[in-house]
Structure formats: structure tokens, C-alpha cells
């Protein structure tokens, strides 16, 4: 009789996974050719119980596929700082020497 419990739990997990996929709460579609299946189910567990770990894994995968170009000497600052850096040092007002 114990195998009924095991079978019911297994079928329940599959049905819950299908429902979550159907209502787009999780995404089990393979990201590359030939991947998916059981790996998708493990991804589902990561996505539900450790969402930041899952998001970090997705971002790491994106960065490995399309890395940002490394800066080279002579590129300049590309207009970010306008070529000027200002460091303001507070005056010693009221401090004992």
C-alpha cells in the first residue's frame, strides 16, 4: 500500500510543475539545444526556493555568452566623468590639534 503514496506524490509533483509552467510562474524551457528535462526540474526547485541564486545563474550565463568588451588604453572616459575628477576634503573646523 505504501507504493500508492509514493506514486501519488510523484504524480502530484509532475502536475504541480505542469501547472506552474502553464500559468508562467516558472520557466522550464531549455535555454540551449539539448538541455531541459530533469535539469529543468532542478532549475524549478532553484527558482522557487533560491530565487536570487537562480537570477544570478541566469546573469552569469548571459555574461559568458556575450561578455562586455574590455577597456583598452586610449579609450578615454567615454563621457562618463567629463574628464574631471573632484575630491572634496572637509576643512578642520573646530578640531583640536
Sorting pLDDT into bands at 50, 70 and 90, what band is 11? very high
Say if 10 falls within a structural domain: yes
How far apart CA 22 and CA 82 sit, in angstroms, is 50
Sorting pLDDT into bands at 50, 70 and 90, what band is 78? low
Say if 11 falls within a structural domain: yes
Residues 6 or more apart whose Cβ sits within 8 Å of residue 46? 53, 54, 57
Digit-coded pLDDT (tens) for 14-47: 999 889 888 888 877 766 655 556 666 676 776 7
Residue 1's Cβ-side half-sphere holds a number of Cα atoms within 13 Å equal to: 0
Which of 63, 18, 64 shows the shortest CA–CA distance to 44? Answer: 18
Question: In total, how many domains does the chain have?
Answer: 1
> What does pTM read for this prediction?
0.33
How far apart CA 19 and CA 13 sit, in angstroms, is 10
Domain limits for position 24: 2-65
Amino acid at each position: 500500500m505504501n507504493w500508492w503514496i509514493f506514486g501519488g506524490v510523484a504524480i502530484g509533483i509532475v502536475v504541480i510543475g505542469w501547472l506552474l509552467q502553464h500559468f508562467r510562474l516558472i520557466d522550464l524551457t531549455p535555454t540551449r539545444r539539448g538541455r531541459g528535462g530533469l535539469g529543468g526540474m532542478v532549475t524549478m526547485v532553484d527558482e522557487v526556493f533560491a530565487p536570487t541564486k537562480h537570477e544570478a545563474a541566469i546573469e552569469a550565463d548571459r555574461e559568458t555568452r556575450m561578455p562586455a568588451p574590455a577597456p583598452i588604453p586610449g579609450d578615454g572616459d567615454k563621457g562618463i566623468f567629463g574628464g574631471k575628477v573632484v575630491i572634496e576634503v572637509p576643512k578642520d573646523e573646530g578640531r583640536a590639534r
